[in-house]
Amino acid sequence: MAILANKNSKIVVQGITGKTGSFHADLSLKLGTNIVAGVSPGKGGQRHLGVPVFDTLEAAKAATGPLDATVIFVPAPLALEAIAEALDAKIPLIIVITEGIPVRDMVSAKKLLAGHESRMIGPNCPGLLVPGECRLGIIPGKITPPGSIGIVSRSGTLTYEAARQIAQAGLGVSTVVGIGGDPVIGTDFCQILDLFHQDPATQAVLMIGEIGGSMEQDAAAHWSGELGRAKPLFGLIAGKTAPKGKRMGHAGAIMEAESDSAASKAQVLKNRGVVTIDELTQIGQTVLERLGKTPAAVG
């Protein structure tokens, strides 16, 4: 099993004929992702990568039937409109890969989201990967085999490294979710942890956080309290060397107070029973040792 999507999920790509959308849709199709439609205004009636293209999401939905998820690759100035279109079409899962979306647009998107049942991942995120089943976004598709470790992260690059190390340790991943590092995002750590908690195929979770904000502390409290520590939670906080007030990579990764620092967040995680990983290079080995497994015993 997996969370959010699987091999049978019907996927549409908004911006499929653009350079980035086309490149990643092609890779996802080659991995077996069930992309049933693409949307590019003005190009309806064409086929791209063997996939039918429509002018609107409603037209795509009318032709293909209910859709499970959309992946948005449109330029930043058009992203809010694309999100609104996905909400109007009642797409259950909206993954926004686009970076550089103005904060005011995301505030508007969050307000729109409040009136719908859809879930939004992102923006400025790598998306979702279910190893061996589907890829919704830009995460390298063969970076890890299927397995029982769930990964959720604010950082795209560190997500890839974590998945690689888990694979090298002889383990595998149930689902990888990159939630994005912008100041305003659709889905936070707590919401993804809830899904992993409910997934019987996920035996443990790795959470990769960053400096700035309190999302990691909130997630640790939620996991230890609401979920009762039902499964091991591993945590890594990036940005140990970041100076106060300086933005590091993501728009949301800025340390404004001591409580925003990597060290402070890591201590909160430890106090909440999270297995805290201090060094990036220790991810795979720490998870392996803590679970008490050897590569040969994992499967």
The rounded mean pLDDT for the chain is 90
Asked if residues 63 and 54 have their Cβ atoms less than 8 Å apart, the reply is yes
- The catalytic residues are 250
The pLDDT score that the predictor gives to residue 212 is: 82
How confident is the model over 148-176, as pLDDT tens digits? 999 999 988 899 999 999 999 999 999 99
**Section 30-56 average pLDDT:** 98
Its pTM stands at: 0.90
Higher pLDDT, 245 or 263: 263
For CA atoms 31, 35, 36, 39, the dihedral sign is: negative
**Section 54-79 average pLDDT:** 98
Beta 233-238 vs 69-72: how paired, if at all?
unpaired
**Section 279-286 average pLDDT:** 94
Residue 237 parent element (H or E): strand 233-238
User: Does residue 249 carry a pLDDT above 70?
Assistant: no
What percent of the chain has a predicted confidence (pLDDT) above 90? 81
Residues 209, 176, 139: CA angle, nearest 5 degrees: 100
Q: How confident is the model at residue 24 (pLDDT cuts 50, 70, 90)?
A: very high
User: Does residue 197 carry a pLDDT above 70?
Assistant: yes
**Section 278-296 average pLDDT:** 83
Q: How confident is the model at residue 250 (pLDDT cuts 50, 70, 90)?
A: very low
Maximum pairwise Cα distance, the chain: 57
Would you tell me how many other CB atoms lie within 10 Å of the CB of residue 103? 12
What are the beta bridge partners of residue 152?
177, 207
Q: How confident is the model at residue 259 (pLDDT cuts 50, 70, 90)?
A: low
Rounded CA separation 138/265 (Å): 28
The pLDDT score that the predictor gives to residue 211 is: 84
Rounded CA separation 225/240 (Å): 27
**Section 25-32 average pLDDT:** 98
Q: How confident is the model at residue 226 (pLDDT cuts 50, 70, 90)?
A: low
**Section 5-20 average pLDDT:** 98
